[in-house]
Amino acid sequence: MRRFVSIWFRHLATDWFTLRRPQLRVMPFVLRAPVQGRMMVMAANACAQIKGVHAGMALADARAFVPDLEVLDDMPDLAGKLLKRLAEWCIRFTPLAAVDLPDGLLLDVTGCAHLWGGDAPYLADIVRRLNIRGYDVRAAIADTPGAAWAVARFGKEPLVIDSGRHIEAVLPLPPEALRLEAEVVERLHKLGLRRINQFIQMPRASLRRRFGQHFIMRLDQALGHEEEPIQPVQPLEPYQERLPCLEPVTTATAIEIALQQLLETLCLRLRNEYKGLRAAVFKGYRVDGKVVQADIATSRPSHNVKHLFKLFEIKLPTLEPALGIELFQLEAIKVEDHFPRQDKLWEGGGGLEDERLSELLDRLAGKIGAESIHRYLPTEHYWPERSFKPAASLQEKPTTIWRDKLRPIQLLAVPEKIEVSAPIPDYPPMLFRHQGKVHKIVKADGPERIEQEWWLQQGQHRDYYHVEDEEGRRYWLFRLGHYDDKTYQWFLHGFFS
């Protein structure tokens, strides 16, 4: 049986203003906004409500009731933004938390309450922590979102509805508890139907004809006859594990133990489903409401607990627990198929298929950054800048073979112009100057002529030379154009090892 919690913020907007101006806590105040040329009360705090001021009242009438009323300007988009932030904060209680405008949250807590010792302590902890944050709330738990919503706003204590008893809890409530339009509620009251149990047994055809299909839908949602989906603020990852803490965690050892336990649980599930993660996030929900996280990525699918722990271990020092972390969450945000590989009996390991190589690259990427590690594959081009391409992964196969010509280990993205002396036609120069330094050439090989790929672009050919200077450094130089046209230039294009 599924379970839902509805949280009602009785003074959402005014509570937010009170948190920023604590002196407002002991004085009546309202939020105002113009409506059709009149200044109206949009929200009133508890002190103002006790003195008869309520939302929807004209501001002039409110001031007549309370002469010393404090008045502040309303913020139209405040409720939506607040509820979204509060729903994200409530993820520490359940991964499925949704905004329920205009003044509530809806949580799918199926399978969560036992971690707190049952429904009652679970609900009490939610209310207590929201009260500590400064919000006046009322919450209920039931088998359907509609029943939880109704009991939270119109029910009596206790607000924990036992499984299977939600219909009994809804029947004595007024029709407003079904989340109906104001005109439908008014029509029901005029007919003397002031409790749900007064019309629950009426024929559905008559109710639909009098009050519409929306009325029937809301009634069925509250009773559990129709499914009511919720839209969580954060989509639920299909591979996610959570670990709540009995007491806030502050030590590095405790964080490592939590990570180890979550990895073992997640990797066991991945292994059983022949999956491996390519990217994962380890999150810690702190007592102060902030979330700290560390993320990793792998070059191939993996469910090796030891390897994944080492990748996270590098980043764990960046997780600041502050006053303590009360919930840990591990998400595999990218998962791929990972089938066991059959090793050949007479062939040793090695090569790109060796998992040890991919694990080494993962650890290096965690220390120096994945952007510092590159793999290249050959392409069907002669022009040096276009003769290779970055590989998407270790598993990507080449579509052609590397040319058997010797190429530098470091190729400049843009060839750099150099000055040469004593050039002889079809021979390398005797000297060249690069970045202010003169290099005397003692060995050279070439030329290797590379023509432009005319189907891609027009231009002069290049004559390449492998040269070595007096210090033993080796370079790849080329002359652009012919000697006889007097417009040739020399360039440095790469460095050999």
Per-residue pLDDT of the chain (497 residues; tens, 9 = 90+): 789 999 999 999 999 999 999 999 989 999 999 998 899 999 999 999 999 999 999 999 999 989 999 999 999 889 999 999 999 999 989 989 999 999 999 999 998 898 888 999 999 999 999 999 999 999 999 999 999 999 999 998 889 999 999 999 999 999 999 999 999 999 999 999 999 999 999 998 999 999 999 999 999 999 999 999 889 998 877 899 999 888 889 999 999 999 999 999 999 999 999 999 989 999 999 988 889 999 998 888 889 999 999 999 989 999 999 889 999 999 999 998 887 765 554 455 555 566 777 777 777 777 777 777 777 888 888 888 888 888 877 677 887 888 778 888 888 889 999 999 866 777 888 899 999 999 999 999 988 898 888 888 888 889 999 999 999 999 999 999 887 767 788 999 999 98
**Residues in CB range of 476: below 8 A, 6 or more apart:** 407, 408, 411, 464, 465, 466, 467, 492, 493, 494, 495, 496
What's the farthest any 2 CA atoms get from each other in the chain? 110
* Domains held by the chain: number: 3
Peptide bond into 158 cis (omega under 30): yes
Distance CA 140, CA 234 (A): 22
Please give the DSSP secondary-structure letter assigned to residue 394.
T
Quick check: pTM over 0.75? no
In a domain, 490, yes or no: yes
Q: 98 and 222 share a domain?
A: yes
Question: Pairing relation of β-strands 437-450 and 96-100?
Answer: unpaired
Task: Please indicate, yes or no, whether residues 275 and 327 belong to a single structural domain of this protein.
Answer: yes
Q: What pLDDT score was predicted for residue 60?
A: 92
Which of 274, 309, 337 corresponds to the end of one domain? Answer: 337
Q: Which of 208, 236, 264 is the last residue of a domain?
A: 236
C-beta of residue 338 within 8 angstroms of C-beta of residue 303: yes
DSSP 358-387: HHHHHHHHHHH-GGG---EEE-S--SGGGS
Last residue of a domain, one of 182, 205, 236: 236
Task: Let me know whether 289 and 193 are in one domain.
Answer: no
Co-location of 214 and 73 in the same domain = yes
| Burial class of residue 44 (count of CB atoms within 10 Å of its CB; 0-12, 13-18, 19+) | buried
Domain hosting 142: range is: 1-27+68-236
Residue 485: the pLDDT is 65
What is the DSSP-derived secondary structure letter of residue 24? G
Judgement on whether residues 15 and 155 belong to the same structural domain of the protein:
yes
224 and 252 share one domain: no
Strand, coil or helix: what is 167?
helix
Task: For residues 138 and 188, state if they share a domain.
Answer: yes
In a domain, 415, yes or no: yes
Residue 295 sits in the same domain as residue 276: yes
Residue count of the chain: 497
The answer to the question of residue 325 being in a domain is yes
Let me know if 210 is exposed, middle or buried by CB neighbors in 10 A (0-12, 13-18, 19+): middle
265 and 207 housed in the same domain: no
Judged by DSSP in three states, 305 sits in helix
Verify that 3 and 93 share a domain, yes or no.
yes
- What CATH number did the domain enclosing 23 receive? 3.30.70.270
Same domain for 230 and 250, yes or no, is no
Q: What is the pLDDT of residue 345?
A: 46
* Residues 303, 199 share a domain: no
